[in-house]
A = this chain, B = another copy of it.
Amino acid sequence: MLAISHRGLEMPASPIRKLVPYAEAAKKRGTKVYHLNIGQPDIETPKMVLDAVRHSEFTILAYSHSAGNESYREKLVKYYAGVGIQVTADQIIVTTGGSEAIQFGFLACMDSGDEVIIPEPFYANYNGFAVAAGVKVVPVTSHIENGFALPPIEEIEKKITPRTKAIVICNPNNPTGYCYSREEMEQLKTLILKYQLYLFSDEAYREFCYEETQVSAMHLSGVDEHVIIMDTISKRYSACGGRIGAFITKNKSVLEAVMKFAQARLSPPSFAQIAGEAAIDLPADYFDTTKAEYKSRRDLIVQRLNAMENVYCPNPGGAFYAMAKLPIDDADKFCQWLLESFSYEGQTLMLAPATGFYSTPGLGKQEVRLAYVLNLNDINNAMNCLEKALIEYNSKK
């Protein structure tokens, strides 16, 4: 019978993208929409990164090595050494975005029916990759009241069953912006050693820690067999469309298994590997400049949010997301209303309802995620809109 698979039906629609038709309609009406809903930075991709592709001289756009160009992987070794991670080129498999690194990890380390523990709220697409792989996501709730710190380790331990194979963290965190401390990372280490679990660490926002230096899962000692890093050039160099990421581990069996999945899809994109390789030669102050820009945006958005009546936004230590608790009944309804029924001086804003980042039903109904990927002026305008919107939304009821 012609039918959609169960996983096809269960697959969640993107919580970030499902409001897009309302945004398009608003734009058609002439309303300016500030996009704080998606992690697509307005910061330009460094010119030398794009130029590397534009000035490339090959004549055949050929398959690369399934693990990615060796020249690129050798450069990545230097990049990782620079952030205190000692790996060799054959411990790196270049992937099609961070997305594919997540997918490879789930497929190689977990079977259908296995469980993965993830602190919620979490990057919504972990859910999608889990459904695709038949893996069950077991959430442990972190809370806005303490800035979304790692839930108490006993809470995580309680969720471990014989089917638990891994813990996934995103550090710095999307959507909360939280940076896990050395102490929290050591607690996770104790747990993965005690129960022989994998630790998948999504470190897409490594450079964007505003108060401290990121503690990588690969900075932990004695857990080489357990740790898998999922990485991407998307946010680091404002190169989301390149679709280049990396799967990194020192576990040989995992590398061998992942390599077979990598061979099946032949190779990662060739053009963007050139871009990624060039990016590693960016001047040392590149991240200083970018980080300073994001920090000033964070400072502004957090200040503006907390100045609004009954709004609470903990100060996120990293990435470029802020989670805010708003005086609203239903974040999904509110975000749709912002696009469908509200405007202030011809402008409105698009936010991501937090419900999509929680796995436990009913959580996040008063929370939204704001991606501070716009310049200070736009953020100010968007916050003006939000301030007016909250008053108007609540006065209507």
Residues of A whose CB lies within 8 Å of any CB of B are: 1-9, 11-14, 17, 38, 40-45, 47, 49-50, 53-56, 58-64, 66, 96-97, 99-100, 103, 107-112, 114, 125, 128-129, 132, 134, 165, 196-198, 225-226, 238-243, 251, 253-254, 257-258, 260-261, 263-272, 275
Asked if B226 and A243 make an inter-chain contact with CB atoms under 8 angstroms apart, the answer reads: no
Q: Is the CB of B243 within 8 A of A109?
A: no
Which 3 A-B residue pairs are closest in the complex by CB-CB distance? A241-B270, A128-B264, A8-B257
Given contacts A4-B109, A11-B261, A14-B66, 17 further A-B contacts (CB under 8 A): A2-B196, A5-B109, A7-B107, A8-B109, A8-B258, A50-B58, A61-B238, A61-B242, A61-B272, A103-B265, A107-B132, A125-B264, A125-B265, A132-B264, A242-B271, A243-B266, A243-B268
Q: Which residue of B lies closest to A13 (CB)?
A: B260
Q: Which residues of B contact A239 (CB under 8 A)?
A: 61
Among B1, B258, B271, the residue within 8 A (CB) of A53 is B271
Query: With A240-B61, A242-B269 given, is the CB distance from A66 to B17 under 8 Å?
Result: yes
Counted per complex, copies of this chain come to 2
CB-defined contacts of A2 to chain B, threshold 8 Å: 196-198, 225-226, 251
Of the candidates B40, B56, B128, B254, the one whose C-beta lies within 8 Å of that of A4 is B254
Q: Is the CB of B14 within 8 A of A264?
A: yes
Residues on B with C-beta less than 8 A from A111 are 5-7
CB neighbours of A253 from chain B (8 A): 4
* A4 with B257, Cβ < 8 A, contacts A112-B134, A270-B242 known: yes
A240 adjacent to B63 (CB under 8 Å): yes
